[in-house]
A and B are shown apart, each in its own frame.
Chain A
């Protein structure tokens, strides 16, 4: 089965910008992703170790700003939507397939390790930087937030900085 081609990037960017604009107009906030991980993680911790989250400082700060069930969080619903939307797109473009993707110069072991460690770094960094590429960089650019743009430059600048050392994994 032939895979459908990807959308023109400028067109996709334009639509994405409109979605972001609509989000800001309707909800007064931008898009995000990493925050949902935090919410789910907090929920898991609370269910496995009840009472713990009310004592540790990290959760207390979070709980102050987001009272109630951590899953009842805007980002959690948004990310559920992202899963659905991406799935639909994959479905209509014939791109649904279980696959572990890696460069021919690499190997499955390296890719798995890379994905795990990369995810760990990004998960940690997103907490420290108060957002990831969607929440801090993209939404930050839309509202011209200084912090958002600084984080954006640090993400992409950092990636370029470290890219050389990991080139064997990709090219």
Chain B
């Protein structure tokens, strides 16, 4: 599950990745003609809308990709850097940049491209941008208040607008396609002739139809997480899931035996988990089973994944979700944690013993009721000293 950094791709390798991504980025920008200010400002004077076409297409393509990857469980959006919103500085900074765009004819990325192919005005622009950074840096105390004001956090636009992600994506695609058609007409009027690149009109009608179809499907595509979370609330669905059962005795035995291949997913609320938790267990909610933390553990081979909660049904919900997501070797604790407590932790020898097998079981449980609480305590000490190791959001930005 993405992001691949930092587990699959280490922090050092990430820099090499940056280099190659930059090469591809610079190559495409130059190929598109972003290395000449003439083409770039054409957007603002109506004679060349290349910037809008490239920009909008790129943004929408990546947006659809991100939504799709997230939906298919390939990317954990909770860990992806989302530019934070500081309302005033976003607007003022943007306006200043807009002025810089029409005065200078470049933006930072394109100025670098232009400089790379020998454009002297591009190089001067890059030099100017250092001066701009210097003014901001040295004058920072003057700008600090504006810079830090109205901090909204890492909000996403559909949250701010109070609509669903799919609906916003749908709107964005429609707006993009509309803009493409409108600007083609404007370009034709300003230049007096249609843009020769778009000779094959039928092709573009076809592409538009595909784009609209994608837009509609984005809107209609149900969110996998929402879907599953709703489904498991239906008891029939959850009960029909063919999860394997593990008895308290077996779990107790494996814990005492320090079985390295068990992973316990504890679905109780944090308060209960914190006050008493079993070794080799981690706390999750049904929702967090969709995230990268859970995916890392559930994807490991040769592990037994045991879902526990106070009762069987809650644990079964988690197990059903895990199975639907494609993970294997899923178990639930028979009778839930309540049963485990009765059988093992707070085991009391019953009055009558009926058979040899019962005698053996009770002998084991007597031993376990001494060992398990000790292991729980040891585990608690270990947790306190190592602290919480959770996945953090990637630090990005400029």
Contact = CB atoms under 8 A, between A and B. Distances in A.
A26 interface: yes
Identify whether the interface residues of A are mostly helix, strand, loop, or mixed. helix
Contact of A119 (B15, B50, B106, B152): B106
Best-surrounded residue of B74, B83, B111 (most CB of chain A within 10 A): B83
A144 to B, nearest CB: 5
Contacts, number: 559
B126 to A, nearest CB: 6
Range class of the B interface residue count:
35 or more
A132 B108 contact: yes
A145 interface: yes
Nearest to B45: A171
Interface in B199-225: 207
B118 A97 contact: yes
A1 interface: no
Contacts of B41: 163, 170
B129 to A, nearest CB: 3
A18 B156 CA distance: 21
Interface in A66-90: 66, 72, 74-75, 77-90
A116 B83 contact: no
A154 B133 CA distance: 19
Contacts of A117: 100, 103-104, 128
B120 to A, nearest CB: 4
A30 to B, nearest CB: 7
Nearest to B77: A143
A146 B66 contact: no
Interface in B7-26: 9, 14-26
- Counting chain B CB atoms within 10 Å of each CB, the highest count among A15, A58, A143 belongs to A143
How many chain A residues sit at the interface, stated as a range, is 35 or more
A155 B94 contact: yes
B117 A97 contact: yes
A124 B89 CA distance: 11
A9 B54 contact: yes
A59 B137 contact: yes
A20 B58 contact: yes
A105 interface: no
Task: Identify which of A56, A79, A139, A150 gathers the most chain B CB atoms within 10 Å of its CB.
Answer: A150
A14 B98 CA distance: 25
A168 to B, nearest CB: 11
A29 B115 CA distance: 26
A149 B87 CA distance: 11
Interface string A114-134: 111111111111111111111
30 contacts: A14-B61, A21-B65, A25-B4, A25-B75, A27-B17, A28-B396, A38-B133, A57-B144, A74-B14, A81-B26, A82-B26, A82-B112, A85-B23, A86-B26, A89-B31, A119-B131, A120-B131, A122-B106, A123-B100, A136-B83, A137-B59, A144-B157, A146-B157, A158-B98, A159-B99, A161-B95, A163-B41, A163-B45, A163-B102, A171-B45
Given A34-B398, A144-B156, 4 more contacts: A78-B22, A87-B117, A97-B118, A171-B45
Interface of A: 6-10, 12-35, 37-38, 40-42, 45, 56-59, 65-66, 72, 74-75, 77-90, 93, 95-103, 111-112, 114-163, 166-167, 169-171
